[in-house]
């Protein structure tokens, strides 16, 4: 059996009275990519953001249920959210590098977590950029502003930034939907590389992308998981008519 990276049990997320995610249970395996697909507004982002407790920031948002990493339920109130988030990286739809230099974008996290040695930091920066396939393009201008990079480069920088703090899990919310086709395929290649080390959960509206990069796919509809299975099976032989309708483009 595959080792489990992260597992959600009966997760319900509500904004005020409105339940956006309803009793979702999903297991995400380590060293695998899981794609979350479904029509707009069905709760994919909401679900994803609960996994690293990012929804704590939204005042009227309540999350009930359990999220297990190994033997720890991270959705319990006693969890140290700050250190938990170091273990779970996140990448957003729109690239959001810090308004700092390329180097600082990456060194910022590790330095806070205790790596003060300049040489060590240099090493982490180089490794992270290499892993994100950005080193060759940026090694000569590490101390220039990250905002001068192209959108695709910025997104890879954001991925590099998140792996610099050595997470176990990376959550990605439509990481390529704001990018051009070339950048998109670079990000996809990168995801396939990264899954050798991380448990990756990716939200995408692009069926082909889901089919290309993921091992497993979960189909969300109205806050519920309709179907969750191996990706090839979801795309060639879905068990539920709603899934079939969605992947053949009949709605959503």
Partner 1 sequence: MSAKTADKIATAVIVGVAAFIVLVLAGLLGFILYRGVGHISFHFLTSAPETIRKGGGIGPQLFNSVFLLVLTMIITIPIGLGAGIYMSEYAPANKITSGIRLIVEVLSSVPSIVVGLFGLLVIVNLFGFGFSLFSGALALTVFNLPLMVRITEQGLKGVPREQKEASLALGLSKWKTITSVMLPIAMPVILTGTILAAGRVFGEAAALLFTAGMSSPRLDFTNWNPLSPFSPLNPFRPAETLAVHIWKINSEGLAPDAAQIAAGASAVLVITVLVFNFAARWLGRYMYRKFTAIK
Ligand X SMILES: Nc1ncnc2c1ncn2[C@@H]1O[C@H](COP(=O)(O)OP(=O)(O)OP(=O)(O)O)[C@@H](O)[C@H]1O
- The yes or no reply on residue 41 touching ligand X (CB under 6 A) is yes
CA 36, CA 243: separation in Å to the nearest integer?
Answer: 12
- Sequence-distant (≥ 6) Cβ neighbours of residue 126 within 8 angstroms: 135, 139
107 to 126: interface string for partner 1, x by CB under 8 A: -xx--xx-------------
Which CB, 1 or 80, lies closer to partner 1?
Answer: 80
Contact region for partner 1 (CB under 8 A) — 63-71, 161-169, 190-198, 227-235?
161-169
Which CB, 104 or 174, lies closer to ligand X?
Answer: 174
- The yes or no reply on residue 44 touching partner 1 (CB under 8 A) is no
Which phi-psi region, left, alpha or beta, contains residue 220 (left: φ > 0; alpha: ψ -120 to 50)?
beta
What is the smallest separation between the CB atom of 220 and ligand X, expressed in angstroms? 6
- The yes or no reply on residue 9 touching partner 1 (CB under 8 A) is no
Residues that bind ligand X in the complex, under the rule CB under 6 A: 15, 20, 38, 40-46, 58
Residues that bind partner 1 in the complex, under the rule CB under 8 A: 52, 54, 57, 59, 82-90, 92, 94, 96, 98-100, 108-109, 112-113, 144-145, 147-148, 158, 161-162, 165
């Amino acid at each position: 059996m595959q080792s489990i990276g992260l597992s959600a049990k009966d997760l319900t997320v509500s904004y005020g009275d409105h339940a956006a995610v309803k009793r979702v249970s999903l297991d995400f395996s380590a060293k695998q990519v899981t794609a979350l697909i479904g029509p707009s507004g069905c709760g994919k982002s909401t679900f994803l953001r609960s996994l690293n407790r990012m929804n704590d920031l939204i005042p009227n948002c309540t999350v009930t249920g359990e999220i297990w990493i190994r033997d720890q339920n991270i959705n319990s109130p006693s969890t140290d959210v700050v250190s938990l988030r170091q273990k779970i990286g996140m990448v957003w739809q729109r690239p959001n590098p810090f308004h700092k230099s390329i180097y600082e974008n990456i060194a910022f996290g590790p330095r806070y977590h205790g790596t003060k040695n300049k040489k060590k930091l240099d090493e982490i920066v180089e490794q992270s950029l290499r892993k994100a396939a950005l080193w060759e393009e940026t090694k000569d201008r590490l101390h220039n502003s990250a905002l001068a990079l192209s959108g695709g480069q910025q997104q890879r920088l954001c991925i590099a930034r998140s792996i610099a703090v050595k997470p176990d899990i990376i959550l990605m919310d439509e990481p390529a939907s704001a990018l051009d086709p070339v950048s998109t395929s670079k990000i996809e290649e990168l995801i396939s590389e990264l899954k050798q080390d991380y448990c990756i959960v990716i939200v995408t509206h692009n069926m082909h992308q889901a089919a290309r990069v993921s091992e497993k796919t979960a189909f969300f509809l109205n806050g519920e998981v309709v179907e969750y299975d191996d990706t090839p099976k979801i795309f060639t032989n879905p068990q539920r008519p709603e899934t079939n309708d969605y992947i053949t483009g009949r709605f959503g």
